Structure 1
Amino acid sequence: HGRRAAATASVTLYGSQGSRSPLCNWYMHECGVDFEMAAPRDPSNPHPMGQVPALRDGDVALFESGAILAYLADAYGGADTPAERADITKWLVFANATLDPVLFKETPDGKVYDTGVREATPPRALAALEAHLAAAGEGAYLLPSGFSAADCNVGAYLLYVLQFFRDASYAQLPATAAYALRCAKREGYKKAFGEETSAFLVSRLEADLAGGVSKKNGLFGGLF
């Protein structure tokens, strides 16, 4: 897959299952990167606030999931030209700056209280994503070239919604539901998030595509 072989575990990802670090794990599994995990409070964590995810790869030290994915795409994912890197980066920024605030509505003090997926009329960000995926055609990912780091960001965020909100549904966004289903079925996703999580999400999304909303609680007990 990548330009650079990761023959030794020089890559260390600082994270936990309850953070955004699994979406970085996902991409490394997709690229065949050999990596090791470290706890958030490990003294070698390069994040200035001690948060996760963060990453070390030899002399490279990074934090923020979008920056980590952009680096991994460049180093291991075969993003060889400025145009290819820009194609990936625009979706990484879209996921973090535009999509995330819609999917996870927060109070002024940063507490998640709802999701825009529940709105009767899809918010502009979701409507735009739906139009893009519908135009791309059946089986497509965000980029014409196929699966990329961008899908690990956008796909993971879409799938997080179904884990946290028991009555969230993508039934009114069929291209988005089908896309999220493809992401949840990927072996890299299963390795990063777990077989149980993947199976739960596949069940929810298949129900959405069949025209009904699964009544199962969210994976984390249906927090909202």
Structure 2
Amino acid sequence: MPTLYFSPNSRSDTVVTLVRMLSADIALREVSIARQDGSGVRDPANPHPEGKVPYLIDGDDAVRERGAIILYLTDAYPDAGLGPVVGEPGRGAYLSWLSYYQGVMEPLLILKWANVDHPAINAGLRDFDTTIERLAEPLRRGPWLLGERFSAADMLCSSPFLWFTAMMPDEPVVRDWVARCKERMSRVAA
């Protein structure tokens, strides 16, 4: 049986919620992790090479990074409709949002939180305000990143604003979207 290693109140919460939304037959294994505030320790039972979460083991496959795990799971459970499958409209946008989150959005949020600014960062990743505008563009046309369709990309891209509320932007369309995502995911988490 596939196993998802997670730790409560961490970035793995989104993936745990996704597993529940997919009604996936996946064992959830809670492990401890080292926290930013210095609490917690690396759990020897966690097979992730860096002791992080989430981490998915499925037979001989090991998947890390939230975007990759989300894609792996939504492809494995297509009937839930939380990610367009190959050949389905919206697949390109879906893949782009998952990759944008991992490669641009999360690094920029961490750099902003750490108060790090440099011209090389702005040239390569842009800045926080640009990221918020990228999110706002599709949300002005539809309630979700993929238009009328809620997807796991909404879950991933809204997640930092749910657990790190100090980063919530002033942009109303983004704030409303985060609230819709929270409401939708809270129904499953409960």
TM-score, scaled to structure 1? 0.63
Q: 1:185 to 1:114 in 2, by over 3 A?
A: farther
Q: For structure 2, list consecutive stretches of 5 or more residues without a partner in the other structure.
A: 32-42, 118-126
Q: Give the letter for the 1:77 counterpart.
A: P
2:2/2:59 contact within 8 Å kept: yes
> What aligned pairs does 1:99-138 form with structure 2 within 5 A after superposition?
99-105=105-111, 112-113=113-114, 123-136=129-142
- The match for 1:62 is 63
* CA spacing shift, 1:16–1:191, aligned 2, 3 Å: farther
In the alignment, residue 85 of structure 2 is paired with which amino acid?
D
- Deviation string 1:156-176 (CA, Å, 9 cap, x unpaired) is 1222231xx2xx553x31110
Matched, 1:149 2:177: no
Is the Cα contact below 8 Å between 1:26 and 1:152 reproduced in 2?
no
Structure 1 Cα separation of the partners of residues 128 and 71 of structure 2: 28
Q: Could you tell me the percent identity over the aligned residues? A: 30
- In structure 1, the partner of 2:9 is 18
- Corresponding residue for 2:172? 174
Q: Using a 3 Å threshold, how does the CA distance of structure 1 residues 67 and 122 change in structure 2: closer, same or farther?
A: closer
Q: Which position in structure 2 is the counterpart of 1:50? A: 51
Q: Are the equivalent residues in 1 in contact too, given 2:6–2:28 (CA < 8 A)?
A: yes
**Aligned length, in residue pairs:** 165
Q: Distance in 2 between matches of 1:16 and 1:134?
A: 34
Q: Is the 8 A contact 2:139 2:147 kept in 1?
A: no
Aligned to 2:164, what secondary structure does the other structure show?
A: helix
- Provide the residue aligned with 1:4 in structure 2: none
Matches within 5 A, 1:75-224: 75-78=76-79, 79-82=84-87, 84-105=90-111, 112-113=113-114, 123-136=129-142, 140-144=143-147, 146-162=149-165, 165=166, 168-170=167-169, 172-186=170-184, 188-192=185-189
TM-score normalised by the chain length of structure 2: 0.73
> RMSD in angstroms over aligned alpha carbons?
2.8
Distance, in Å, in 1 between the alignment partners of 2:51 and 2:12 is 13
- What amino acid is aligned across from residue 154 of structure 1 in structure 2? C
Shift of 1:122: 6.2
Give unmatched runs, 5+ long, in structure 1: 1-9, 107-111, 196-224
Q: In the TM superposition, what is the alpha-carbon distance from 1:124 to its structure 2 partner?
A: 0.7
CA distance in 1, matches of 2:135, 2:102: 14
